[in-house]
Structure 1
Amino acid sequence: MPNTTLYYVHDPMCSWCWGYRPTWDTLQAQLQQQLGQQLTIKYLVGGLAPDSDLPMPRPMQQMLQQTWQKITQQLGTKFNHDFWHLCQPRRSTYPACRASIIARQYGLEKQMINAIQQAYYLNAKNPSDLDTLVAIAIQVGIPEAPFVEQLTANDIDKQLLQEINLAGQLPIQGFPSLVLMVDNNAYSIRLDYHQWQTSLADIRTILSNIKPC
């Protein structure tokens, strides 16, 4: 079989990624069970918003609150709206993206992403803040001192920018997105928030049309 990778392009603080998570978890389990030896799943952070210490403008806060409500209406996803008055929102997701990359080195990437999402969307914590990310790192089993050091390390920032650049070259429509890479060919995979079978069918169709090396 040729080198085959399924990229999950996301941002840990993307609300639609949180809404998609139950379907994505099921799809991953099915892929592992049915096609585990034929493809590798890799997470790719796309970086929604760069570093910023500025408060999020009120119109953007209102827009995001409306997005949360829309996701709840369409998908039944739970959100803790206390976040908007308990925290000082900032439009800054790069710190959470770096935390995910660091966790990958420890084999804890999925655990980190899930913990960031739960802290943000269920527990009204702000993953744009360093203290929130440190607490999450400790929670998932990453030592505090090296985690804090790596959050501002040049190599982690370089890797983040490389992933953002790669995501920009893939055939995606936003976050989350799925892209099947076979050798040097990228195939956009339909992403269905309700039915994991839609994406699996696309992947199977593409793989069945590829001749073995």
Structure 2
Amino acid sequence: MTATPVLHYIYDPLCGWCYGAKPLIDVARGILPVVAHGGGMMTGAQRQPVSAQLRDYVMPHDLRIAQYTGQPFGEAYFEGLLRDTTAVFDSAPPTTAVLAAEQLGGRGLEMLGRLQTAHYEKGRRIADNDVLMAVAVEMGLEADAFRTAYDAMSGEVTLAHFKTSRQLLSKVGGQGFPTVVLEQSGQYQVIDLGPYLGKPEAFAAWLRQREGVSAEREGVCAPVCGLDGCQ
């Protein structure tokens, strides 16, 4: 148990609503410790190649996220990546990259943010190892060190991370991704991000005055991606 508040962020790198919440996580990192927990939304049987069906499914959700949050979705994503039938949507490799960047210097959330931008704005294939390596180098990580850390975090380590993250999600009663939880003195409160999406300054103000303010509401109403995909 700790009296120091910690924000737990249960995310997936391929979750559109997590990308929508990116500005909130960015401001939170300047106020209190934020711990990232990758949930493995598109892994195993949910891992899938890009297809016309997938594009038709995700585009209306992405357009809603853009309208709701103001986050930019690039032409390279809508008309490039979502039409590239050789691409695969797989949450495991980018989550492993986040774990590797965290191991190298506590830069996991920075890696996540860069991968979200690479995916949704630039249409890059963030499940591909060469793209992950390029992003790591772009953020100033040494290539060999990142490759070693990535190899160490891949496979069973990443799968174990997914399991632990989902256990936390279940413990706090989260409904999907993103779920943001304030922990203080052993107590967990799920924060409803709905009123703050597109309003990072308001979220920052709430975090700064969180003492004595209840973060938990009746029924978390913020839109989320489900455990196996965005709805």
User: Could you say which TM-score interval applies, normalised by the shorter chain?
Assistant: 0.7 to 0.9
Describe the SS at the equivalent of 2:21.
helix
The runs of 5 or more residues in structure 2 that have no matched partner are 215-231
The one-character-per-residue Cα deviations of 1:131-185 (angstroms, maximum 9, x if unpaired) are: 2222222222143430442253533432343223223322323222211122332
Give yes or no for the alignment of 1:121 onto 2:125.
no
The one-letter code matched in structure 1 to 2:5 is T
Tell me, in whole angstroms, the C-alpha distance in 1 between the residues paired with 2:34 and 2:21. 16
Q: CA deviation at 1:117?
A: 1.1
3-state DSSP of counterpart to 2:49 = coil
How far has the Cα of 1:7 moved from its partner?
0.8
Q: How big is the shift at 1:116?
A: 0.7
Separation in 1 of the partners of 2:43 and 2:208? 32
Aligned to 1:48, the other structure's residue is in SS state coil
Q: Tell me how far apart the structure 2 counterparts of residues 79 and 87 of structure 1 sit (CA, whole Å).
A: 19
Pairing 1:120-199 to 2, within 5 Å after superposition: 120-140=119-139, 141-144=141-144, 145-191=147-193, 192-196=196-200, 197-198=202-203
> CA offset at residue 5 of structure 1?
1.7
Please report how far the alpha carbon of residue 3 of structure 1 lies from its aligned counterpart in structure 2 after TM superposition: 4.5
Q: Once the 2 structures are TM-superposed, how far is the Cα of residue 121 of structure 1 from its aligned partner?
A: 1.2
> CA, structure 1 residues 55+155, in 2 after alignment: closer, same or farther (shift >3 Å)?
closer
Secondary structure, in 3 states, of the residue corresponding to 1:67?
A: helix
The question of whether the paired residues in 2 share the 8 Å contact of 1:103 and 1:112 is answered with: yes
Normalising by structure 2, report the TM-score: 0.73
Alpha carbons of structure 1 residues 74 and 116: separation in structure 2 relative to 1, 3 Å: same
C-alpha contact (below 8 Å) 1:102/1:156 kept by paired residues: no
1:164/1:142 CA distance change after superposition, 3 Å: farther
- Change over 3 Å in CA distance of 1:67–1:151 after alignment to 2: same
The range that moved more, 45-54 or 119-128, is 45-54
1:95 to 93, 96, 104: 93
**Deviation (angstroms), 1:202:** 7.0
Asked if the contact 1:98–1:160 (Cα under 8 Å) also holds between the matched residues in 2, the reply is no
Q: 2:212 aligns with which of 197, 208, 211?
A: 208
Aligned partner of 1:74: which letter?
Answer: Y
Q: Does 1:46 align with 2:31?
A: no
Q: Deviations over 1:17-71 (max 9, x none)?
A: 2222223323433xx2xxx5xxx32122222111466424543321111111112
Change (3 A) 1:162 1:79: same
Structure 1 stretch displaced more, 185-194 or 146-155: 146-155
Identity in percent: 20
RMSD: 2.8
SS of the residue aligned with 2:73?
coil
| Aligned positions, number | 201
Aligned residue among 40, 53, 64 for 1:59: 53
Residue identity in the other structure for 1:19: G
C-alpha change, 1:179 and 1:24, in structure 2 (3 Å) is same
**Which structure 1 segments of 5+ residues have no match?**
none
